[in-house]
Amino acid sequence: MVALHIQPGARRSAVVGVHAGRLKLALQAPPVEGRANEALVAYLAAVLRIPRRQVLLVAGKHSRAKRVELRGVDPAGVARALAPSGDGE
């Protein structure tokens, strides 16, 4: 389970730091008609190199604060892959 803070409508999609104890992710997709949620799932699947079906949005469908379940992944690998890039915010 990963707690995230999402910033939709960003210049580019990236992990940019921590916000209120949650990993902060900037997403290019706008927050309309579920596009940001779809982009979130696609981004995490691509970064973690797992199928989209292993990324489940379990809380926060209409909020910037989200919880995502990642199935069948190594927690240490997830931590490395989602380390903030440091060039956001």
Domains defined for the chain, CATH in brackets:
2-81 (3.30.1200.10)
Residue 85, pLDDT score? 63
Band of pLDDT at residue 79, cut at 50, 70 and 90 = confident
pLDDT mean over 50-60: 94
- Which three-class secondary structure string do you get for the chain? CEEEEEECCCCCCEEEEEECCEEEEECCCCCCCCHHHHHHHHHHHHHHCCCHHHEEEEECCCCCEEEEEECCCCHHHHHHHCCCCCCCC
* Per-residue pLDDT tens digits for 6-43: 999 999 999 998 998 899 999 999 988 889 999 999 99
